[in-house]
Amino acid sequence: MGNHITGTETPQLSLPIVEYNGGTLTASLYSDALFGTLFEQRSPDGNSAAGTVRFRYSSRVPTLEESRTFAVWLRPGNPAATVPNEDTAIGFPATMDGFFRLVMPDVPAGPQWTHDIRMVSYDYLSDGGLGYERDVVALAAMLTPEERAKVAICFHGWYDGFLYCYDETTGQLRDSWDAFPATRKVPYTKAEVKRLLQKTKDFGFRVLMYYADGVLADSGQPSYREERTLKTDNGSYVVGWQGPETMGPTHAQNPAHPDVRAFYQGYSDALITEYGSIVDGFVWDETFYVRTGMIATKPTPAYADRAMLTLVDAVRRNLKTRLGPEKVLLTSDAVGIFGLRNEPPSALWADGTYQDTHCRPSVQTFGFFPNWRNCFWSCNWEPIKNFNWNQWGVQTYGAPVAITNGWSDDKGVSEWSVAQKENFLGLFRQRLQAGPATRWSRTDPAITLLTAPFEGGASSLAIEGLSIDSLLGDAFPVPLPSEKD
């Protein structure tokens, strides 16, 4: 982030960590994650390690006083402990733990309960707003109380568009509104939302609430503010999701803009006030629109990628301060989806990931390291059509079973056939009997993917109404700068 130093010829690290193993000594080198770092390694004589650590600021952004953080951890080495399948205190897992302990001590790990989840469900205002309750009741009837505690259900699509029922002039949520006012026109009130959330909670499920779609603004809404948008170097918008809840093209806003930051922090505060005591946490969808290397020019030049991460951090901190450590903020970086590799790891400042990657096998491993301490879940809007993707993730990496309603397959629990019910419940109970989810791949993911089902039969791009060009915009790849190091 900040400013690229090299091009695509340099491999990218998921986290800024380099480990040196010398047999009797192990050295772990870390850099903070808020800025891009280039590690150059060399061994002058074959028996020693040397190198250079570089980072680059841009002349387009005024450099104020700030510091970079580095850490070096020296400890006794053990050649056997470097074997990837050995989870020892002196091996690879310890190196990973050291990064969070030394470089990110102010961001604690998410709560344990997220690691116990074995099924995740997303409802996108299904069946005219009636599907959510039908499915919750049906699923509760299928499961024991102990099994329900292992299921997390996300209430999505409840809002009036990308204003999320929030009035930034008053700092309050609206008392009543129509969800998806241009299409599905489902009347809602705060009281009704609370009733549905509480009913889910009373059944013993973990309850999550949809927070936002990245930092998108809907250009078709009267509240749209052109001056808040983030533009690429040639002046183009960063376009995003457009669906039944939007009224016009959506554009990513500048997360460094004071008004944008105030909106999301004020909105999160209002959401916590109204629903925080009922829900277990919130899901911030599609946090990937602001990509590495993006620089905002107005109102003040700023690194937009870094601003997005600090905004996620601010929302999480507010949630923890007000409601305690057991409540969660989950992000959706979708690292690796569609072949993209330039999404900043906002999950590092969250309690885990619940991302919209359809349980695609090819994406499974890209989020392992940013979510090293936390849960790593995927949504699947085609859980019936692509049940084999779901099944492969459960059996290969210990992912939770993913079910949905309200989009694509658009078939919830209450609508399952007998065979579908047997498939999903069988896979869920298989997952209940297995151990913790995989934290890192002990085999080259390219080799593991040889066992994966074919991904060409369905297109998330078509489902989500996006094209590669529209998603990438003009910022990928980011042109190499000419500034000095």
* Domain assignment of residue 313, yes or no: yes
One domain, residues 116 and 97: no
Mean pLDDT of 15-44: 87
One domain, residues 88 and 167: no
CA distance 477 to 470: 14
State pLDDT tens for residues 262-274.
999 999 999 999 9
| pTM as predicted | 0.91
Q: What phi and psi values does residue 16 have, to the nearest 5 degrees? A: -80, 75
Whole-angstrom CA distances from 437 to 128, 153, 208, 401, 424 are 35, 19, 20, 12, 18
One domain, residues 21 and 126: no
What pLDDT shows up at residue 374?
98
What pLDDT shows up at residue 48?
82
- Inform me whether the pLDDT recorded for 465 exceeds 70: no
- Inform me whether the pLDDT recorded for 475 exceeds 60: no
Mean pLDDT of 461-474: 36
Determine the structural domain holding residue 278 and report its residue range.
Answer: 112-440
* Domain assignment of residue 262, yes or no: yes
* Domain assignment of residue 177, yes or no: yes
One domain, residues 217 and 152: yes
* Domain assignment of residue 452, yes or no: no
* Of the candidates 263, 321, 325, 313, the residue with the CA atom closest to the CA atom of residue 287: 313
Mean pLDDT of 413-430: 98
- Inform me whether the pLDDT recorded for 185 exceeds 80: yes
Report whether 102 contacts 30 (CB < 8 A).
yes
One domain, residues 90 and 221: no
Strand pairing report for 250-252 and 216-218: antiparallel
Mean pLDDT of 428-447: 93
In this predicted structure, which of 83-87, 448-452, 467-471 has the lowest mean pLDDT?
Answer: 467-471
One domain, residues 416 and 350: yes
Number of domains in the chain: 2
What pLDDT shows up at residue 3?
66
Q: Please state whether the peptide bond connecting residue 445 to the residue before it is cis, i.e. omega within 30 degrees of 0.
A: no
CA distance 16 to 344: 12
One domain, residues 215 and 324: yes
State pLDDT tens for residues 40-51.
988 888 778 888
* Domain assignment of residue 476, yes or no: no
One domain, residues 141 and 88: no
* Domain assignment of residue 456, yes or no: no
- Inform me whether the pLDDT recorded for 410 exceeds 90: yes
* Domain assignment of residue 107, yes or no: no
* Domain assignment of residue 176, yes or no: yes
Q: Read off the CATH number of the domain in which 131 is found.
A: 3.20.20.80
- Inform me whether the pLDDT recorded for 433 exceeds 60: yes
Burial of 269 (0-12, 13-18, 19+ CB in 10 A): middle
One domain, residues 180 and 70: no
- Inform me whether the pLDDT recorded for 181 exceeds 80: yes
CA distance 67 to 65: 7
The CB-side HSE value for 301 (13 A sphere, CA atoms) comes to: 11
State pLDDT tens for residues 309-355.
999 999 999 999 999 999 999 999 998 887 777 888 999 999 999 99
- Inform me whether the pLDDT recorded for 192 exceeds 80: yes
Residue 181, token pair as written in the block: 């006012």
CB under 8 Å, gap of 24 or more: what pairs does 182-185 form?
182/220, 182/244, 182/246, 182/247, 183/244, 183/245, 184/125, 184/128, 184/129, 184/244
Q: Given pLDDT bands bounded at 50, 70 and 90, which one contains residue 419? A: very high
Q: How far is CA 337 from the centre of its chain?
A: 12
State pLDDT tens for residues 211-242.
999 999 999 999 999 999 999 989 999 999 99
One domain, residues 192 and 337: yes
CA distance 377 to 399: 7
State pLDDT tens for residues 359-393.
999 999 999 999 999 999 999 999 999 999 999 99
In this predicted structure, which of 74-83, 195-204, 363-372, 473-482 has the lowest mean pLDDT?
Answer: 473-482
Report whether 275 contacts 319 (CB < 8 A).
no
What pLDDT shows up at residue 478?
32
Q: Which phi-psi region, left, alpha or beta, contains residue 244 (left: φ > 0; alpha: ψ -120 to 50)?
A: alpha
Report whether 28 contacts 73 (CB < 8 A).
yes
Beta bridge partners of residue 50, listed in sequence order: 42
Report whether 460 contacts 338 (CB < 8 A).
yes
State pLDDT tens for residues 2-17.
666 777 788 888 899 9
Burial of 459 (0-12, 13-18, 19+ CB in 10 A): exposed
Angle, helices 131-142 vs 190-202, to 10°: value is: 10
One domain, residues 148 and 29: no
One domain, residues 180 and 36: no
- Inform me whether the pLDDT recorded for 471 exceeds 60: no
